[in-house]
Amino acid sequence: MVTPLDEALDAMAEALIQGRFDQIAELTSLLEEAVLKLDAPATEELERLGRKAARSAACIEAALAGLRAGQARVHDVKQASLGLMTYDRKGATALIKVGSMAGRRA
C-alpha cells in the first residue's frame, strides 16, 4: 500500500535527483505532515520507509556535495581572474596580478 509518506519520500528523492531544489521546502512540509499522520506502521512498512528515507538522505548529501564543489569552483574562477597563484621561495602562495607582467617579453 502506497502511503502519503511514500509519495512524499519518492517526490523528495526525485526532486533532488533532478536538481529541482526550488521544490525542497514544499516537499519538506509534505514530509512533516505525512509523518505526523502516520499511524503505528507494521515492521515491514517501517523498513520500507526507512530505506526510502535513507535514499533521500543520500540524495541530499550528494546534492550538498555538488553544491559545495560548485561553490569551490566559482571561488577558484574568481581567484584566477585576479591573477596567477604561484609559490614563492619559502613555499608560501604568492599572487602575480593580471597585468603586472605587461610589457615583459620572454
Specify if 40 maps to a domain: yes
Q: Which domain holds residue 44?
A: 4-75
Residues 63-70 have a mean pLDDT of 93
- 60 to each of 16, 25, 74, 77, 79, how far by Cα in Å? 7, 13, 21, 26, 28
Specify if 32 maps to a domain: yes
Specify if 8 maps to a domain: yes
CA distance 96 to 79: 11
Tell me the per-residue pLDDT of 2-52, one tens digit each, with 9 for 90 and over: 788 888 899 999 998 998 989 999 999 998 988 888 777 778 888 888 898
For position 68, what pLDDT does the model report? 95
Specify if 47 maps to a domain: yes
* Total of domains in the chain: 1
pLDDT tier at 103, thresholds 50, 70, 90:
low
Range ranked top by mean pLDDT from 58-62, 79-83, 93-97, 101-105:
58-62
Tell me the per-residue pLDDT of 50-61, one tens digit each, with 9 for 90 and over: 898 899 899 889
Specify if 90 maps to a domain: no
